[in-house]
Amino acid sequence: MQSWIYIVLGLLIVVLVVALFVAFRRVQNEKEINQLNEDFEAMTSQPIYKTIEQLDAMNLTGESHKSLEKWRGAYYDLINNKFGQLYQSVFDAEKANQNFKIFTSKKRINASREQLKEMQSDSQDVIDSLDQLVKSSEQNKVQGEKLSSQYRAMRKEVLTKSFDYGDSVDEFEDRLSDVDKQFETIRKLTSAGDHLEAKKVLADIAKKLNILSDILKRIPPRYHELVTEFPDQLSEIKQYFEKMRTEHYSFGEPGILESIAMVHNKIAVTLTALSKLELQVVEQNNKSIVKSIDDLYQRLQDELEAKKKVAAIQKEASEYLNHSSVQITNLIMSLDHLNQSYVLTHNELDDARQMQSEIADMQKEYDRRVQEIADHQAVYTATFDSFEAIAKRLGELEQKQYQINDSVSGLFEGERVAKQGVTQFEIDLKDIQREVEQANLPGVPKDFVDYFTMVREEVAKLDDNLNQVQINIEDITKQLIMTQEDLNTLTQKAKDMKDAAILTEQALQYANRYTYGNEALAGAAAEAKRIYTEDHNYQQALDTIATALDQVEPGSFKRIESLYYNSEDATDQSVIETEPETKA
Q: Tens of pLDDT along 410-436?
A: 666 777 777 888 888 888 999 999 988
Across 80-89, 118-127, 508-517, 524-533, the highest mean pLDDT is recorded for: 524-533
Alpha carbon 21 to its chain centroid, in Å, reads 79
Q: Please, which contacts does 410-417 make with residues 24 or more away whose CB atoms are closer than 8 Å? A: 410/473, 411/338, 411/341, 411/342, 411/473, 414/473, 414/476, 414/477, 415/342, 415/466, 415/471, 415/473, 415/476
Backbone phi, then psi, for 218, in 5-degree steps?
A: -85, -20
Distance between CA 279 and CA 68 in Å, rounded? 44
Longest dimension (CA), the chain: 159
> Do 322 and 270 share a structural domain?
no
Please indicate, yes or no, whether residues 421 and 316 belong to a single structural domain of this protein. Answer: no
Residue 89 — pLDDT band, cuts 50, 70, 90? low
Query: Among residues 269, 294, 319, which one ends one of the domains?
Result: 294
The mean per-residue pLDDT over the stretch 101-113 comes to: 63
Cα–Cα distance, 87 to 388 (Å, whole number): 102
Contact in structure between 40 and 86 (CB atoms under 8 Å): yes
Q: What is the pLDDT of residues 145-182, one digit of tens each?
A: 777 777 787 887 777 777 777 888 788 788 877 877 77
Q: Within this chain, do residues 428 and 558 fall inside the same structural domain, yes or no?
A: yes
Cα first-last separation, the chain: 151
Of 130, 134, 129, 127, the closest CA to residue 43 belongs to 127
Has residue 146 been placed in a domain? no
**Spatial separation of the C-alpha atoms in residues 249 and 255, rounded to whole Å:** 12
Contacts of 164 (CB under 8 A, 6+ apart): 219, 220, 223, 224
The reported pLDDT for the residue numbered 281 is 92
CA–CA separation, 390 and 231 (whole Å): 41
pLDDT value at position 368? 94
* Boundary (domain end) residue, out of 274, 294, 314: 294
For residue 161, what are the contacts with CB-CB under 8 A and spacing of at least 6? 220
**Confidence class for position 575, pLDDT limits 50, 70, 90:** very low
291 vs 298: CA distance, rounded Å:
10
Q: What's the rounded Cα separation, in Å, for the pair 503 and 511?
A: 12
- Encode pLDDT of 204-237 as tens digits: 888 888 888 888 888 889 989 999 999 999 999 9
**144 belongs to a structural domain:** no
Closest C-alpha among 506, 496, 522 to residue 556: 506
Q: Which amino acid is it at 177?
A: S
The distance from CA 186 to its chain's CA centroid, rounded to whole angstroms, is 60
Asked, for residue 143, whether it belongs to a domain, the answer is no
Cα 179 from Cα 206, distance rounded (Å)? 9
Averaged pLDDT of the chain? 78
Q: Does 2 map to a domain?
A: no
Question: Which residue, 118, 85, 117, 91, is CA-closest to 105?
Answer: 91
Distance of CA 195 to the CA centre of its chain: 61
State residue 39's pLDDT score: 59
For residues 120 and 183, membership in a common domain is answered with: no
Number of domains observed in the structure of the chain: 4
Q: Does a structural domain hold residue 164? A: yes
Task: For residues 459 and 576, state if they share a domain.
Answer: yes
In whole angstroms, what is the distance from residue 425 CA to residue 433 CA?
12
Residues 317 and 335 in one domain: yes
Number of helices followed by number of strands (H, E) in the chain: 18, 0
Q: Mark whether 473 and 544 lie in a shared domain.
A: yes
Which residue in 300, 299, 157, 282 sits closest to 225, CA to CA? 282
- Answer yes or no: are the C-beta atoms of 163 and 226 closer than 8 Å: no
User: Is residue 90 in a domain?
Assistant: yes
Least confident range from 76-80, 202-206, 468-472, 504-508: namely 76-80
Q: How many CB atoms lie within 10 A of CB 242?
A: 11
CA 384, 385, 389, 392 dihedral sign is positive
471 strand-pairing partners: 342
- pLDDT of 578 reads 37
Question: Domain check: are 419 and 404 in the same one?
Answer: no
With helix as H, strand as E and coil as C, how does 314-349 read?
HHHHHHHHHHHHHHHHHHHHHHHHHHHHECCCCCHH
Q: Are 530 and 438 in contact (CB under 8 A)?
A: no
Same domain for 348 and 434, yes or no, is: no
In a domain, 142, yes or no: no
CA distances from 503 to 269, 497, 558 (A): 111, 10, 11
Same domain (yes/no): 183, 263: yes
40-54, 425-439, 473-487 — which is least confidently predicted?
Answer: 40-54
> Are the beta carbons of 178 and 209 closer than 8 angstroms?
no
Please identify, among 408, 428, 453, the residue that sits at the C-terminal boundary of a domain. Answer: 408
Determine the pLDDT at residue 385.
Answer: 92
394, 362 in Cβ contact below 8 A?
yes
Chain-centre distance for alpha carbon 286: 34
Q: In terms of domains, do 71 and 178 share one?
A: no
pLDDT tens for each residue of 55-81: 444 554 455 556 655 656 665 555 555
Residue 83 within any structural domain of the chain: yes
Least confident of 74-78, 282-286, 401-405, 514-518: 74-78
pLDDT band at 334 (very low <50, low <70, confident <90, very high): confident
Q: Rounded distance, CA 437 to CA 447, Å? A: 16
Identify the CA nearest to 133 among candidates 201, 43, 52, 38: 52
The one-character DSSP state at 278 is -
Domain range for 376 is 302-408
Q: What number of other Cβ atoms are within 10 A of residue 476's Cβ?
A: 24
CB 99 within 8 A of CB 30: no
Of 1, 25, 191, residue with least CA distance to 103: 25
Q: How confident is the model at residue 129 (pLDDT cuts 50, 70, 90)?
A: low
Mean pLDDT within 85-97: 60
471 SS3 class: strand
pLDDT at 570 over 50: yes
| 565 and 457 belong to one structural domain | yes
Tell me what pLDDT residue 78 has: 57
Bridge partners of residue 342, in order along the sequence: 471
pTM of the model: 0.51
Those residues with Cβ within 8 angstroms of residue 293's Cβ, 6 or more apart along the chain or in another chain: 230, 233, 234, 237, 263
CA atoms of 556 and 521, how far apart (whole Å): 13
Checking if the pLDDT of 52 tops 70, the result is: no
Helix axes of 473-515 and 411-438: crossing angle, nearest 10 degrees:
20
User: 543 pLDDT exceeds 70?
Assistant: yes
With b meaning 16 or more CB within 10 Å and e meaning fewer, what string describes 416-429? eebeebbeebeebb
Kindly report which listed range (86-100, 304-318, 423-437, 558-572) carries the lowest average pLDDT score: 86-100
- Residue 504 CA to residue 500 CA, distance in Å, equals 6
Per-position DSSP letters for 190-243, written without gaps between them: HHHT-HHHHHHHHHHHHHHHHHHHHHHHHHHHHHHIIIIIHHHHHHHHHHHHHH
- CA–CA distance, 183 with 167 (Å, rounded to integer): 26
